[in-house]
Amino acid sequence: MKKLFFVTLLVILSTAIFAQEEVKSSKKSKEKQKEVVVDDTFPKLPGITFTSLVHDYGNILKNGDGVCYFQFKNTGKADLQLTNVSSSCGCTVPEWPKEPIPPGQSAKIKVSYSTSRVGPINKNIFVDSNVGERITLNIKGNVSEPPTEMVPENKTSPFMNKQ
């Protein structure tokens, strides 16, 4: 078993040593110029950067406007494609661009939260793309009942003074 391990290690090391490329040089007009070997083994990849990962609604009223936007930019060198955007709850509905975002361009994800329930908001939005890693966005805040208006008592109403 030890011999097999050492033979395998020897093969890997010898392959690594002989796989190194030389930088070629040549003399032209009495100056040394080096040929630059460009390493194209890494493909051009997209990147994604959000301006903010959290949106705080603060205190909003029941049945109020629960729409917010998350802006992002393709910071990579290839087209960015959002493959899926989902939420942790059915009360949160994301909408995202389906077309590829070119390098250097920006776009937005629209998130609509249903404000029909009173209480705290703490929901996650999951962004999957061709970048490879899942990004988690968050919305938070509080939904409260709208204030009830007090109507002053009208003592001069003809309906109240019936005799």
Model confidence band, residue 75 (pLDDT cutoffs 50, 70, 90): very high
In the chain, the number of structural domains is: 1
Q: What is the CATH number of the domain that holds 57?
A: 2.60.40.10
Is residue 37 in a domain?
no
For residues 70 and 156, the model is more confident at: 70
Of the spans 6-15, 27-36, 39-48, 49-58, which averages the highest pLDDT? 49-58
Q: pTM, whole model, 2 decimals?
A: 0.65
Is residue 56 in a domain?
yes
Taking 80 as the threshold, does the pLDDT of residue 150 lie above it? no
Q: Are 117 and 32 in contact (CB under 8 A)?
A: no
Is residue 17 in a domain?
no
Q: Which domain does 77 fall in, by range?
A: 48-144
pLDDT, position 149: 74
pLDDT, position 15: 59
Mean pLDDT over residues 140-158, rounded? Answer: 76
For residues 29 and 42, the model is more confident at: 42
Is residue 12 in a domain?
no
Is residue 118 in a domain?
yes
pLDDT, position 23: 45
Model confidence band, residue 31 (pLDDT cutoffs 50, 70, 90): very low
Is residue 38 in a domain?
no
CB 70: neighbour CB atoms within 10 A? 24
DSSP structure class, residue 4: H
Is residue 39 in a domain?
no
Model confidence band, residue 79 (pLDDT cutoffs 50, 70, 90): very high
> Which tokens hold the place of 3?
């011999």
Is residue 79 in a domain?
yes
pLDDT in tens, 124-134: 999 999 998 99
What is the rounded CA–CA span in Å between residue 135 and residue 125? 8
For residues 31 and 133, the model is more confident at: 133
